Amino acid sequence: METRAVQIMNYTKKIEVDYLARVEGEASITVELDKGPAIKLKIFEPPRFFEGFLVGRKFDEVGDIVSRICGICPVSHMTTAIQAIEQAMGIEVTRQTKVLRKILCLSQIVASHLIHLYMLAMPDYYGYAGIVDMQSRFSGEIARLIKMKEVMNELTGLIGGRALHPVTHMPGGFTAIPPKDSFISILRKLKQIKPLAKEVVKDVSRFGVPDFNSSSEYVALADETEYAINEGRIVSTKGLNIAVKDYRRTFRESHVSYAFAKKSNIVSRSCFMVGALARLNNKFEKLQEQTKALAKQVDFEVPNSNPFNNNLAQSLEVVDGIERCIKLIESNTFEDEDVRRRAGSGEGCSATEAPRGLLFHSYRINRKGVVEQADIVTPTSHNFLSIEKDLNELVAQNRDKSRDRIRLLCEKLVRAYDPCFSCSVH
Amino acid sequence: MNNKRPTIGVFKYSCCAGCEFQLIYFQEHILETFKAAQIKYCRMLQSGGTDEGPFDVALIEGAITEQWQVDQLKKIRDVSKYVIPIGSCAVCGGVPAIKNTSQEYDVERRVYKDTSFIHSVKAHPIDQFVKVDGYVRGCPMGQRDLTELVISLLLDKRADFLQYCVCVECKLNNSICVLVAYGQPCMGPVTNAGCGALCPSHNRACYGCWGPMKDANARALAEQFGKMGLSREDIFRKFTEFGQPTDEWKPGQFKS
């Protein structure tokens, strides 16, 4: 047995996944087993220069433009940018606007998790190339996915005007508020899919998780009163606790020749992970009671340092997100109001929890309302170092396995992080 | 083509991948579509598959910003019966083409300290490089045009894409004109229809995300914006958010 393993190793010193499927965007993985192992996540998606061409654009165009950074999380980019611009220009928004933003972001997080769990991650665990081939064996699961995603997209579209690249969301508020009866109708649908959400957690708990532990620090946005989405302080499992405005003093970016995405790290510390698992590790107690009970049922405990469990964490957020949307809609009434305008200038920044983790935007706006400087750091840039570190450790632990097995493990790990390479090369 | 399942290849260039998502999650029709058509290559949907064709239909999303993309695009054209750009980036440059309004080096320098490994060129739509057989417009691409495309392929008929401006849809909706009544700088008169006049029906001016309508009178609209008090820079920004490389909106793109 041992000789066979050695033979395989000698025969295959290099493993390459040249265009990783079922992730958003374009990247490849290279593993060089004889070098220790040396692993590179090559993000070859062409750079898109949003920070470059936003300079010279007007403040009220920015939300519409940055939503085009990502097809899965347009709402997050839009919301983060708009909040940063409001801070720069001194625009105060109403409580209603903040509530609507929260629903908008939660609905998108749930929809994004559903896509990731069923269409991108699940085929790995049952040996399929993609969801199309899975139809006969998993018709129930696929029907569940489509039903739930439809309702969540409808909710995003109700508030945003359109689920992908919303149009009503502007600095200062929303240009249109949906009529009361449409909230009643969506509420009914949300309640219908609530029981399905619990099935999602069960589906994901059946994936089976490779035994692996990562020593990463987990970073998330936290707030004393609730499970923070759009506002809060940046905290970590290793004691970080800073205001969003101190982000640039704490987080640094660097770039490497093999990727157009930048790598982010915490100054004088190591790599870190953001995303659903990081959120649960930092603020598990802020979840709804029923979500916590469900977590117990599937033996999910925090702190949890297995990055493969990001999938399970996402499924718990699906349950929690739907319940929070229901509560937010039930406990508020929404009325037409004017979009607030003010021609201030200055610098502003904002951080939110995108589906894939902490997202940071900052802008400098001049007196004409024109962007002079833009800075965007996406969740996948935050996770970049951590993904590479975990890949290294994973391969080191599984060196005796076959080439195909190592390759699949690597792909599974990268997908568990739910990276978005399109975002990362913004 | 109606006797066998058409084969489809989906390719992504510089964009947000939102159109591919629209396609994959073509929600209520998704299962029917997969039964009727065979997805031969789509990286985001499935692993494996070949990009070498042949394809009955190649759907292309994203703008072209690097040379390797042109090389691949030409190969795709060779092995595909129909090539269809999907979404504004592939149809008219879209948001990625905003960068064309500055010097390439300036834009790059704002993002990367070392630009020596960047090989980006000005963003262009697909039809600048290869012949295309129709356009599925929208940002993200519209469901109506996409449905029309799929049905046309199955029936082997020519697809009937909408070829009028957003104003027509506003009238059909009985919406009040935000340009005439409220003095908002609306791009509706020069923008291709398909969205159902989404923005005007949500109390805001159209910002042109579906890209230029054929034979649009951009000069007249730009002059109107000027009369309404917009600065030259503001007008320039309106006409470069979603159609910088197009001839149709060129008359609105003057800075001084």
Instruction: Tell me the average confidence (pLDDT) per consecutive run of 10 residues in chain A, 426 residues long.
Output: 40 76 88 79 92 96 97 96 97 96 98 95 94 90 93 96 96 96 97 97 94 93 96 96 96 90 91 97 96 96 96 98 98 93 91 98 97 97 95 91 90 94 92
Q: How many CB atoms lie within 10 A of CB B174?
A: 7
What's CA A211's distance to the chain center, in Å?
A: 23
Q: Which CATH architecture has domain B7-155?
A: 3-Layer(aba) Sandwich (3.40)
Closest chain B residue to A134 measured between Cα atoms?
B46
Give A292 to chain B, closest Cα distance, Å: 30
Q: Which residues of B touch A46 (CB under 8 A)?
A: 13-14, 65-66, 69, 120
Find where tokens 């039964």 sit: B35
Give A229 to chain B, closest Cα distance, Å: 23
Would you call B61 an interface residue with chain A, using a CB distance cutoff of 8 Å? Answer: no
Give yes or no for a cis peptide into B54 (omega within 30° of 0).
yes
Residue B206 β-bridge partners: none
d(CA A235, CA A218): 8
d(CA B1, CA B9): 16
d(CA A290, CA A258): 45
pLDDT of residue B27: 57
Q: Is A240 left (phi over 0), alpha (psi -120 to 50) or beta?
A: beta
SS3 B140: coil
Cross-sheet strand order for the sheet of A357-365: A346-354, A357-365, A371-377
Give B22 to chain A, closest Cα distance, Å: 8
d(CA A45, CA B64): 12
Tell me whether residues A71 and B17 touch, CB distance under 8 A: yes
Q: How many CB atoms lie within 10 A of CB B227?
A: 7
SS3 B243: coil
Q: Is A156 left (phi over 0), alpha (psi -120 to 50) or beta?
A: alpha
For residues B178 and B200, the answer to whether their CB atoms sit within 8 Å is yes
DSSP symbol at B253: -
Q: Which residues of B touch A120 (CB under 8 A)?
A: 44
Residue A220 β-bridge partners: A235
Would you call B111 an interface residue with chain A, using a CB distance cutoff of 8 Å? Answer: yes
For residues B249 and B243, the answer to whether their CB atoms sit within 8 Å is yes
Cross-sheet strand order for the sheet of A233-236: A241-242, A233-236, A217-222, A272-273
pLDDT of residue A5: 40
The closest alpha carbon to B126, from B207, B59, B78, belongs to B59
Would you call A264 an interface residue with chain B, using a CB distance cutoff of 8 Å? Answer: no
Find where tokens 């129709």 sit: B134
pLDDT tens per residue, range B78-128: 999 999 999 999 999 999 999 999 999 999 999 998 888 888 999 999 999
pLDDT tens per residue, range B8-51: 899 999 999 999 888 776 656 666 776 778 888 988 888 878 88
Give A159 to chain B, closest Cα distance, Å: 10
For residues B137 and B146, the answer to whether their CB atoms sit within 8 Å is no
For residues A293 and A154, the answer to whether their CB atoms sit within 8 Å is no
Give B82 to chain A, closest Cα distance, Å: 23
SS3 A228: coil
Domains of chain A with bracketed CATH: 50-424 (1.10.645.10)
Q: Which residues 166-185 in chain B show a CB within 8 A of chain A?
A: none
Tokens of A246: 């101190």
pLDDT of residue B28: 63
Tokens of A10: 């000698």
Q: How many CB atoms lie within 10 A of CB A97?
A: 21
Would you call A5 an interface residue with chain B, using a CB distance cutoff of 8 Å? Answer: no
d(CA A133, CA A36): 37
Would you call B98 an interface residue with chain A, using a CB distance cutoff of 8 Å? Answer: yes
Alpha helices in chain B (DSSP H): 18-24, 30-36, 67-79, 88-92, 104-111, 143-155, 166-173, 218-227, 232-240
Tell me whether residues B46 and A131 touch, CB distance under 8 A: yes
The domain spans of chain B are 7-155, 166-252
Phi, psi values for residue A294, rounded to 5°: -65, -40
d(CA A227, CA B201): 34
Q: Which of A65, A119, A176 sits opposite B95 (nearest CB)?
A: A65
Would you call B199 an interface residue with chain A, using a CB distance cutoff of 8 Å? Answer: yes
SS3 A169: strand
Phi, psi values for residue B131, rounded to 5°: -70, 135
Residue A234 β-bridge partners: A221, A242
Contacts of B51 (CB under 8 A, 6+ apart): B9, B11, B41, B72, B76
DSSP symbol at B178: T
Q: Which residues 22-51 in chain B show a CB within 8 A of chain A?
A: 22, 24-25, 27-28, 30-31, 34, 39, 43-49
- For β-strands B55-61 and B80-86, DSSP reports them as parallel
Q: Which residues of B touch A74 (CB under 8 A)?
A: 16, 18
Give A306 to chain B, closest Cα distance, Å: 25
Single-letter code of the amino acid located at A255: H
Would you call A53 an interface residue with chain B, using a CB distance cutoff of 8 Å? Answer: yes
Would you call A51 an interface residue with chain B, using a CB distance cutoff of 8 Å? Answer: yes
The dihedral through the CA atoms of A326, A332, A336, A339 has a sign that is negative
Give yes or no for a cis peptide into A303 (omega within 30° of 0).
yes
Contacts of B35 (CB under 8 A, 6+ apart): none
Question: In angstroms, how far is the first alpha carbon of chain A from the final one?
Answer: 47
Single-letter code of the amino acid located at A99: V
CB pairs under 8 A between A and B: 164
Tokens of A70: 């990502």
DSSP string, A250-306: HEEEE--TT-SSPEEEETTS--EE-SHHHHHHHHGGGS-HHHHHHHHHTT--SS---
d(CA A306, CA A312): 11
pLDDT tens per residue, range B125-172: 999 999 999 999 999 999 888 888 878 877 888 889 999 999 999 999
Closest chain A residue to B27 measured between Cα atoms?
A146
Would you call A255 an interface residue with chain B, using a CB distance cutoff of 8 Å? Answer: yes
pLDDT of residue B46: 84
Tokens of B168: 């027509």
State pTM to two decimals. 0.95
Which H or E run contains B230? none
Would you call A408 an interface residue with chain B, using a CB distance cutoff of 8 Å? Answer: no
Optimal mutation site among B11, B22, B25, interface A, most CBs of chain A within 10 A: B25
pLDDT of residue B192: 97
Q: Which residues 114-173 in chain A show a CB within 8 A of chain B?
A: 115, 119-120, 123, 129-133, 135, 142, 146, 149-150, 153, 161-162, 164-165, 167-168, 170
Tell me whether residues A129 and B27 touch, CB distance under 8 A: no
Closest chain A residue to B95 measured between Cα atoms?
A65
User: Residue B114, class by beta-carbon neighbours within 10 Å (0-12 exposed, 13-18 middle, 19+ buried)?
Assistant: exposed
